[in-house]
Amino acid sequence: MPELPEVETMRRGVLPVVGCRVAGVEVLRGTHKPIGVWPRPAALARRVTGQRIVDVGRVGKRVVLALECGDRWVFEPRMTGLVLLAAPPNWEHLRLRVRLSGRGPKELLYWDRRGLGLVRLCSAAEFARRYLSGTLGPDALEITDDQLRERLGGSRREVKVALLDQAAVAGIGNLYAAEILHLAAVHPQRRCCELTLGQWRAIGAAVRHVLQEAIRYEGSTLSDGTYRNALNEAGGYQNHHRVYDREGQTCVHCGRDTVRRIVQAQRSTFFCPTCQPRRGSAAGAAKIAALAATSAGRRKSDKPRPPTGKTKSR
C-alpha cells in the first residue's frame, strides 16, 4: 500500500544512487507473471546502460530516476512494490535488478510480491505528458487549502472517496485518507460540496500534518509486513494510527467511542462517529487551528534521520 509517505521514504533511501552509472539491467521472471516493464527488456537495457543517474525524485506515489540523457525512469509500486538498495524481503519476488558502477551502491532492486506495479522508462516529453500535465493533481505535501477546495469543493462525491482521486491531489491513498479525515474531524461520507471553508482548511492542515508525521516515522508497515524502506526496514507510523485498521477499538482521541468500519467505493473506511460527526463541530475547528500552527512551525526543523532528503525534481 505504498502511499506518499512510503514512496517518499523509498525515494530518500535510494538517494545514494545519484551519481552512479547504470552498468546493466536484468528483468527477472520467476514463477509469477512478470510485472509491466516498458520498453521491453532488450530496448530498456540499451537505453539505460551507461547512463548516469542525476537525481531521484517523486511524482505522487512513484519514484523517478532522472538520467543524464533527460529520460525519466519511473518506478510505480502500486500495492506491494518496493524500491530497494538492500536485500529484498524475499528473493522470489525480485522483478528487476539494476547494476550500478561508481562510488555508492552496487545495485538497485525492484521487488513486488503481487506484481501489480510497473516500471516505465520515459522520454522527457512522455514523462511530462503522463505525469505533469493535468493527469496528476498537485502533490499532497504542497497543495494549498485553496487549491484543495477549488479542485474538490464542487464535487458531489463523498470526501473520503474524492481524496483518493490522484487527478485532484497526488499522493493520498486509502490509509492516509482515513487518518486525515479523523484528524480534521470530518465524517468520511460528507459530500465535498457540503463542506464549509473551515472544514477544507481543517482537511488541508490534516493532509500536511499526517503526511509529514508519517514521513518522519518512515511510513506504515501493516501486519502483512510488506512495506519496507530502501534498506528493508519496517516503518513506524502504524503505531500512531488513529483509526486505520482499528475497528472496534476505543478512539485514541475522544477515549469514549469505538472506531467503526464502513465500505466506500469498495474500500474500507475507518472513522470515529463521535470525533467525526455528520455535521461540523466548533470543537473540531478549534483543534485544527491549534494543530495547523504546530505543523507549520515544525516544518523547517523537521529533519529525517539519514540519509537526509533532498529537493525532489519535477
Partner DNA sequence: CCCCAGTCCTGCGGGC
Partner DNA sequence: TGCCCGCAGGACTGGG
Residue 296, Cβ neighbours under 10 Å: how many? 12
Question: Which of 267, 273, 304, 307 is labelled catalytic?
Answer: 267
As a whole number of angstroms, the distance between CA 217 and CA 242 comes to 14
Helix orientation angle between 174-184 and 197-216, rounded to the nearest 10 degrees: 130
Q: Is 8 in the site for DNA (CB under 7 A)?
A: no
Q: Label residue 233 left, alpha or beta by phi (over 0 means left) and psi (-120 to 50 means alpha).
A: beta
Instruction: Kindly tell me which residue out of 157, 240, 260, 314 binds DNA, with binding defined by CB under 7 A.
Output: 157
Query: Which stretch in 14-22, 140-148, 159-167, 287-295 sits in contact with DNA by CB under 7 A?
Result: 159-167
CA geometry: angle 169, 212, 196, nearest 5 deg: 50
Contact track, DNA, 54-73, x by CB under 7 A: ------xx------------
As a whole number of angstroms, the distance between CA 28 and CA 107 comes to 14
Q: Is 260 in the site for DNA (CB under 7 A)?
A: no
Q: Does the annotation count 267 as an active-site position?
A: yes
Q: Is 32 in the site for DNA (CB under 7 A)?
A: yes
Collapsing DSSP to helix, strand or coil, 12 comes out as helix
Instruction: Kindly tell me which residue out of 137, 173, 235, 284 binds DNA, with binding defined by CB under 7 A.
Output: 173
As a whole number of angstroms, the distance between CA 287 and CA 285 comes to 5
Q: Does the annotation count 40 as an active-site position?
A: no
Q: Which three cell numbers stand for residue 308?
A: 537526509
Q: Is the peptide bond before 307 cis (omega within 30 degrees of 0)?
A: yes
Instruction: Kindly tell me which residue out of 12, 21, 113, 216 binds DNA, with binding defined by CB under 7 A.
Output: 113
Q: Which three cell numbers stand for residue 129?
A: 505528458
As a whole number of angstroms, the distance between CA 122 and CA 129 comes to 10
Task: Select 55 or 76, whichever has its Cβ closest to DNA.
Answer: 76
> Smallest gap, in angstroms, from Cβ of residue 295 to DNA?
23
Q: Does the annotation count 150 as an active-site position?
A: no
Q: Does the annotation count 97 as an active-site position?
A: no
Query: Which stretch in 98-106, 137-145, 264-272, 285-293 sits in contact with DNA by CB under 7 A?
Result: 264-272
Q: Is 224 in the site for DNA (CB under 7 A)?
A: yes
Instruction: Kindly tell me which residue out of 11, 47, 58, 93 binds DNA, with binding defined by CB under 7 A.
Output: 93
DSSP 128: I
Catalytically annotated residues: 2-3, 61, 267
**Site for DNA, rule CB under 7 A:** 1, 3, 32-33, 60-61, 76, 78-79, 92-93, 113-116, 155-158, 161, 164, 166, 173-175, 223-224, 263, 265-268
